Amino acid sequence: MQTEVVLGIGGNKGDRFSYLARAREALSREMILISSSQVYETEAWGGVAENGSFLNQVLLITTSLEPLALLQLTQAIELSLGRTREQHWGDRTIDIDILYFGDQICNSSSLTIPHPFLSRRSFVLQPLAEILPKKIHPILGKTTLELLAECTDQGQISIWKQAK
């Protein structure tokens, strides 16, 4: 059975756009990519980012994997793209977050779905609103647009324009 899953991808180290592209490519080899938002450039959220702003994107995929198997796959992709976990919310080449897994709710020691900070991050809600504006958060009972309107995150976010 295929499940629609929403992923958030982002990073701020090295060739940020290349890392996003390589993550999308690796994910596409394992599942079906249905839709992707534009790429957004955003301020760091929650931690110290010595390498500056992030590029972020939201993807809608379908997969036959179960949530924990998908988590293992995304972490393997992160590792293959040079991700290190030295500082919580610190700099990274790539981060792949499971935002939604269908309408499932999961609270395990290794995985929380929906992503616990989704409703507090404009850098997630803005691109999510682009591709799934009416998606209803299964716990909060609000659409992406409603969550975005209520979000108090004031971090700078803009559509990224790749240099020519």
24 an active-site residue?
no
Of 151, 99, 92, the residue nearest 128 (C-alpha): 99
Which of 16, 97, 121, 153 is labelled catalytic? Answer: 97
Which of 15, 22, 91, 92 is labelled catalytic? Answer: 92
With 0-12 / 13-18 / 19 or more C-beta atoms within 10 angstroms meaning exposed / middle / buried, residue 88 is exposed
104: left (phi over 0), alpha (psi -120 to 50) or beta: beta
Tally the C-alpha atoms within 13 A of residue 97's C-alpha that lie toward its C-beta: 22
15 an active-site residue?
no
Terminal CA-CA length for the chain: 42
CA geometry: angle 25, 129, 124, nearest 5 deg: 65
92 an active-site residue?
yes
Which of 16, 95, 121, 153 is labelled catalytic? Answer: 95
83 an active-site residue?
yes
Q: Which residues have CB under 8 Å from 161's CB, separation 6+?
A: none
Which of 83, 91, 121, 153 is labelled catalytic? Answer: 83
Of 119, 147, 144, 111, the residue nearest 130 (C-alpha): 144
Residues acting as catalytic residues: 83, 92, 95, 97
